Amino acid sequence: MASAIRGMWHHLAQQPASYERKQYYSFGRVLGAGTFGEVRESVFAPDGRHVAIKVIKKSSLNGDETLVLKEIDIVRHLHHRNIVKLLDWFESKDKYYLVFELCTGGELFEKISQRGHFTETDAIKLLRCGYESIAYLHEHNIVHRDIKPENFIFRDRSEDAPLMLADFGIARIMRSDDEVLSTMCGSFGYAAPEILLRQGHGKAVDIWSMGVVAFSTLCGYSPFWRFEEPRSLMLAMQSNNIEFDERYWWGISESAKDFIRLSLRSDPNERMTAAEALQHPWLTGDTASTRDLLPDVIHNFNARATLRRAVLKIQAVNRLRKLSLTSSGRSNSGSSEGSEPDKSPSNADMETGHSEQQQQQQQPPPPYSPEPGANGNIPGSWKP
């Protein structure tokens, strides 16, 4: 009877059929928030399991809901020990709800900073998890396109907790190895040069980003931190001349440096693949040094965090200025003359990869069906 009443209410409220699943979740604290919505810790009532629910406002998608449907279509088929698992999903008339396993161990650098000792061997154990997850994605013709330390989180706070790859919001399924993607996407500082130069890209962009992560994990700073001006940054990224500052890289094996150089080749065709990375002597652990890297990693990471906070403040001021100028321009728009709109890529463009959504006519995943067995995650048999 209660189920029938709920169904009638959902129908009157014009809610999608899957909205009924929301009743099984108790929403708790906000774990994080962004442009599209927020992530909340929640409890799955039937068995008390704690989960993370990504709540996405449909109004933030600018009418292109395939952004979310493509993410669902990708992550629901992923089954790897180092990739955060999608457990369930449903929608309301104004939001999408993606239910993921809850990871409570913190981000990559946060956990490293809490250690009492950190060597190349320790770094290899963590980075191997990252390269294994990327190799799995590439084997299934999936490119993540937003590899960065913030998207690597530990499953729990135990000392040997596995490192998990998360956030597939701008990942794409490639129809073939030869397909060329064209979106300006990724995160500044980790995006490959072919993305920034709009030359088209593929799986190799994940290797570049992972190379930056590997470099930063060993020393605490980015390989291109000195280059603030876009032109000099691009020249540095294309030079194939990675600088290893002796103040922080003394005692680190030459094999580690070779591994990073092969990950950061400017020509994507010369970059090693994820499968090749897993076979590299350094990632097998045979050539690692035993020097404690933690003091330098913490020092440089804290300095970088301070710089990032300053940069974010400057970006906020610039956005306000741009909005003010735009508003002023609109008030004087009576004349047909005017400057051409800015076509330069913004951080928002890079993170969302929106332009590609209109270029690719991919078939979205089928809508959620509330019928038993529709996605294997119905009440009573839901097994995260």
Question: In this predicted model, what pLDDT tens digit does every residue of 63-102 receive, in sequence order?
Answer: 888 889 999 999 999 999 999 999 999 999 999 999 999 9
Residues 158, 288, single domain; the answer is: yes
Claim to verify: residue 288 and residue 225 sit in the same structural domain: yes
Kindly state whether residues 193 and 127 are assigned to the same domain. Answer: yes
Does pLDDT of 374 surpass 70? Answer: no
**Could you tell me if 89 and 130 lie in one domain?**
no
Is 146 one of the catalytic residues? yes
The pLDDT score that the predictor gives to residue 5 is 54
| 66 & 135 share domain | no
Q: Is residue 379 part of a domain?
A: no
Last residue of a domain, one of 53, 71, 101: 101
On whether residue 309 sits in a domain, the answer given is no
Any idea what the CATH number is for the domain that residue 167 is in?
1.10.510.10
Residue 343 forms part of a structural domain: no
Give the active site residue among 73, 88, 146, 206: 146
pLDDT tens column, 289-340: 889 999 988 888 775 554 454 444 454 445 445 544 544 454 444 433 333 3
Same-domain pairing of 82 and 201: no
- Please determine, for residue 197, whether its predicted confidence score (pLDDT) is greater than 50: yes
Q: Average pLDDT of 8-20?
A: 74
The domain boundary, picked from 66, 84, 101, lies at 101
> Which residue among 101, 121, 136 closes a domain?
101
Q: Is residue 122 assigned to a domain?
A: yes
134 shares a domain with 29 = no
- pLDDT at position 332 is 47
CATH (domain of 97): 3.30.200.20
For residues 377 and 173, the model is more confident at 173
Total structural domains within the chain: 2
Which range has the top average pLDDT, 110-114, 254-258, 318-322, 364-368?
254-258
Report if residue 79 sits inside a domain: yes
Residue 115 pLDDT? 86
The answer to whether 322 is a known ligand-binding residue is no
Q: What is the pLDDT of residue 46?
A: 95
Write out pLDDT tens, residues 87-143: 999 999 999 999 999 999 999 988 888 888 999 999 999 999 999 999 999 999 999
Q: What is the model's pLDDT at position 325?
A: 52
| Tokens, residue 182 | 């064209």
Domain identity same for 226 and 297: yes
Q: Is there a domain that residue 252 lies in? A: yes
Asked whether residue 366 carries a pLDDT value surpassing 80, the answer given is: no
**85: containing domain:** 13-101
User: Quick one: which of 157, 165, 178, 43 has its CA closest to 99?
Assistant: 43
Which is more confidently placed, 160 or 278? 278
Q: Does one domain contain both 184 and 137?
A: yes
Mean pLDDT, rounded, of the chain: 81
Tell me the average pLDDT across 177-206: 93
Rounded to an integer, what distance in angstroms lies between the CA atom of residue 252 and that of residue 35?
Answer: 39
What is residue 177's predicted lDDT score, i.e. its pLDDT?
84
Residues above pLDDT 70, as percent of the chain: 75
**One domain, residues 115 and 92:** no
Residue 53 lies in a domain: yes
Average pLDDT rounded to a whole number, residues 219-244:
89
What pLDDT score does 41 carry? 97
Q: Do 79 and 166 lie in a common domain?
A: no
Q: Give the mean model confidence (pLDDT) for residues 173-198.
A: 91
- 34-62 mean pLDDT: 93
- Based on the domain organization, do 127 and 203 belong to the same domain? yes
3-state secondary structure labels for all residues of the chain: CHHHHHHHHHHHCCCCHHHHHHHHEEEEEEEEECCCEEEEEEEECCCCEEEEEEEEEHHHHCCCCHHHHHHHHHHCCCCCCCECCEEEEEECCCEEEEEEECCCCCEHHHHHHCCCCCCHHHHHHHHHHHHHHHHHHHHCCEECCCCCHHHEEECCCCCCCCEEECCCCCCEECCCCCCCECCCCCCCCCCCHHHHCCCCECCHHHHHHHHHHHHHHHHCCCCCCCCCCHHHHHHHHHCCCCCCCHHHHCCCCHHHHHHHHHHCCCCCCCCCCHHHHHHCCCCCCCCCCCCCCHHHHHHHHHHHHHHHHHHHHHHHHHHHHHHHHHHHHHHCCCCCCCCCCCCCCCHHHHHHCHHHHHHCCCCCCCCCCCCCCCCCCCCCCCCC
Q: How confident is the model at residue 353 (pLDDT cuts 50, 70, 90)?
A: low
pLDDT at 64: 85
Q: Is this prediction's pTM over 0.75?
A: yes
Phi, psi for residue 88 in degrees, rounded to 5: -170, 165
Kindly tell me if the per-residue pLDDT of 206 is higher than 70: yes
> Does residue 338 lie in a domain region?
no
